Amino acid sequence: MAFGRLDRSSPPPPISDINMTPLIDVMLVLLVIFIVTAPLLASSLKLDLPAAGASTPSDTPGFVAVALDADGQLYLGEQRASAEEVERALREAGARDPQTEVRLRADRAVPYGQVAGLIDVAQRAGLSRIGFVTEPAAPR
């Protein structure tokens, strides 16, 4: 009894195409992560903030961000402002809510007298909650 064999004369050729779907999936996920985190990393105002180990971020919803760069220029948020504009903004914030926090960022090179003057302006505007923004200290 002879049974027919299903032998092929040559083996099937290997598949030479690369499956691109997993590669595209990974690249799209990385692109989304980059798009979400890029705005958080970019700050237009570069300051050399001092380091403090015991500082924790505040969860106060209402705050006014004031910054002093190394040249002594004032910033209200991320926008350059004059001393009169900062004083007016602090006075308006104090009139709206005296519990508004002033988040003060000052470059390490700014003289203490300028920082003390800015604190005085905030206190005269009726704002007594002043937070100093620092960099986290390096672990020892």
Instruction: Tell me the domains of the chain and their CATH numbers.
Output: 51-136 (3.30.420.270)
Mean pLDDT value of segment 60-89? 87
Query: How far is the C-alpha of 74 from the C-alpha of 90, rounded, in Å?
Result: 13
Sorted by sequence, the CB contacts under 8 Å of residue 118 that are 6+ apart come out as 66, 68, 74, 86, 104, 106
Plot region of 77 (φ>0 → left; ψ -120 to 50 → alpha; else → beta): left
**105, containing H or E segment:** strand 101-106
The DSSP bridge pattern shows strands 101-106 and 79-81 to be unpaired
Q: Which of 14-18, 82-86, 123-127 has the lowest mean pLDDT?
A: 14-18
- Whether the model clears a pTM of 0.75, i.e. scores above it, the answer is no
Query: Quick one: which H or E segment has residue 76?
Result: strand 74-76
Neighbouring C-beta atoms of residue 128, cutoff 10 Å: 13
pLDDT score, position 29 = 95
Tell me what the mean pLDDT of segment 79-86 comes to.
Answer: 90
Q: What is the percent of the chain where pLDDT is above 70?
A: 79
Predicted local confidence at residue 78, as pLDDT? 85
Place of tokens 């006014």: 64
